[in-house]
Amino acid sequence: MPRALRQWWRLAPADRWRLLGMLALLPVASLGLRLFGFRRMKAFVEWSSPLRAPRPADRADQAHAERIAELAAIAGRRGVIKGTCLRQALLVHWWLRRRQLAPVLRLGVDRIGALPDMHAWVELDGRPLAQRDLRHRPF
């Protein structure tokens, strides 16, 4: 059995459905960014996932958010369209807002030699989600 298929079957059933949703939505995010740009796409994401009564994240919410960010990264690596960090962050931001959490979409930069390295990520209650060595400074 191929490795990718073994990994798929190791996922919890709920995570399989979430991953399928992300695999389907990443091309939509990519197309939206190409057609409308970042500002209008972010405005659309926030319009389509209104925060009626945002609530603070408890430990279960934080763990769920971390898992959602990990699944978005998997979808970005394995999908038909390779999802950049910005596309993944937009998707995670939308997903968590739908749960009435108040995530923050961050854009940052780090210098690697003479060139800047751009990065996008999501924070929940001030904690970056699914970020190992985050060297980037937010704008």
Query: pLDDT per residue over 18-32, tens digit each?
Result: 999 999 999 999 999
Burial class (CB in 10 A: 0-12, 13-18, 19+), 60: exposed
Note the pLDDT of residue 73: 92
Query: pLDDT per residue over 60-82, tens digit each?
Result: 999 999 999 999 999 999 888 88
Q: What angle do CA 66, 126, 77 make, to 5 degrees?
A: 35
Task: State pTM to two decimals.
Answer: 0.89
Assess contact for 89 and 108: CB atoms under 8 A: no
Assess contact for 105 and 90: CB atoms under 8 A: yes
Query: How many residues appear in the chain?
Result: 139
Query: pLDDT per residue over 40-62, tens digit each?
Result: 999 999 999 998 888 999 999 99
Contacts of 120 (CB under 8 A, 6+ apart): 84, 85, 86, 88, 89, 90, 105, 106, 107, 108
Assess contact for 90 and 110: CB atoms under 8 A: no
Q: What are the backbone angles phi and psi of residue 65, rounded to the nearest 5°?
A: -65, -40
Sign for the CA dihedral angle at 51, 83, 122, 117 comes to negative
Note the pLDDT of residue 137: 66
